[in-house]
Amino acid sequence: MTTARELQFKSINYTGLGAGPRLIVTGAVHGNETCGTKAILRVIEEIDSGALHVAAGSVTFVPVTNPLAYALNQRSGERNLNRNLFPNPQPQDFEDRVANWLCPLLGQHDVLLDLHSFNAQSQPFVMVGPRNNDGTLQPFRHAEQERALARRLGVRRFVDGWLATYGQGVQRRLKSGDASTLDLVLRYGMGTTEYMRSTGGYALTLECGQHLDPAAPDVGYRAIVNTLAFLGLIEAPQPEPIALDQMEALSMVVVHDKLDAGDQFSRVWASFDPVAKGEQIGMRTDGTPVLADFDGKILFPDVNAGPNSEWYYLTRANTDFERFTE
């Protein structure tokens, strides 16, 4: 049986002769999401064979970000690495030790492409960060660059609003008004991309497809090569952005919690299933129907959610995504 003591961390770096941005590409942040690992290893093989050449800037590949979860072929080792991702001088679990290695590594780069997959059948999509802002939750100044890169990954669906919507749910769940408690809980919403943005860089999470979809590694591979080309790290034609009339941009607006173990969905939901305002999504254990707040699409429905935790998110069309992509 694999133990944490037997594991080590590995990254592979290629640096070109010319000046350019510093890119980092990560896979297997969740150990059962292996499409990113396969895509990264394919690109490494092509660089080593000479089929691809890093001419400018640098790229660092982390094929297996969480080696314990990967060895166990499960989402987490001892906890979810993609939450509360900060260095911890007194690490309490294996993921804290990953963070103590990974966070300084992220801080040495300008751009992160984090490759994931998901459980239910659906189409690939990319999670993008906030608009430019000077707020306290997630200040940011690279919306144009981040969204321009997102349009060149090879997928057509884009979702933003994660941390703000998650934070609204946290505030609702907290019984006390203790601001320090709120700050601590909000940290739980910080993952790889949020941490990267906090260092002054920008970042994208690409959900390449269903975990076992044989096409998912190809989605990840195409995204890596397109990113290398778009950032000018390899000598290749610039990838064309997806046309505005072919893309779907959504914003996460609200999160609803499962309040009791007896709360149930009204049917089997998958991410991006459309819902109409007033449509029944589920039922509380006391018989109260749970209805859609507005016309939109459901995201991350979790039939296994525990009481007082995220049950599902609702998104609506984002009508100004393209303003930040040229």
pLDDT per residue as tens digits for the range 253-277: 999 999 999 999 999 999 999 999 9
Dmax over CA atoms of the chain, in Å, equals 66
Scanning 188-310, the segments in alpha helix (DSSP H) are 192-198, 216-230
Distance CA 283, CA 259 (A): 11
Q: Are 303 and 258 in contact (CB under 8 A)?
A: no
Residue 182 has pLDDT above 90, yes or no: no
Instruction: Tell me the two tokens of residue 189.
Output: 């919403």
**What is residue 300's predicted lDDT score, i.e. its pLDDT?**
87
Pick 306 or 279 by higher pLDDT: 279
| 179-187 helix and 162-173 helix, angle to the nearest 10 degrees | 140
Distance CA 261, CA 204 (A): 34
- What's the rounded mean pLDDT across residues 100-108? 98
**What is residue 144's predicted lDDT score, i.e. its pLDDT?**
95
State the distance between the two ends of the chain, measured CA to CA, in whole angstroms: 50
Burial 300-311 (b: 16+ CB within 10 A, else e): bbeeebeeeebb
- What's the rounded mean pLDDT across residues 235-239? 95
> Which of 191, 199, 204 lies closest to 230 in space, CA to CA?
204
Q: Are 232 and 56 in contact (CB under 8 A)?
A: yes
- What's the rounded mean pLDDT across residues 104-112? 98
| Look-up of token digits 């499409």 | 35
Burial of 137 (0-12, 13-18, 19+ CB in 10 A): middle
> Which of 268, 280, 266, 277 lies closest to 316 in space, CA to CA?
277
pLDDT band at 172 (very low <50, low <70, confident <90, very high): confident
**What is residue 78's predicted lDDT score, i.e. its pLDDT?**
94
Burial 59-70 (b: 16+ CB within 10 A, else e): bbbbbbbbbbbb
- What's the rounded mean pLDDT across residues 298-303? 90
Return phi, psi of residue 165, to 5°: -70, -40
Distance CA 28, CA 73 (A): 10
**What is residue 176's predicted lDDT score, i.e. its pLDDT?**
47
- pLDDT tens per residue, range 273-295: 999 999 999 999 999 999 999 99
Q: What is the amino acid identity at position 225?
A: V
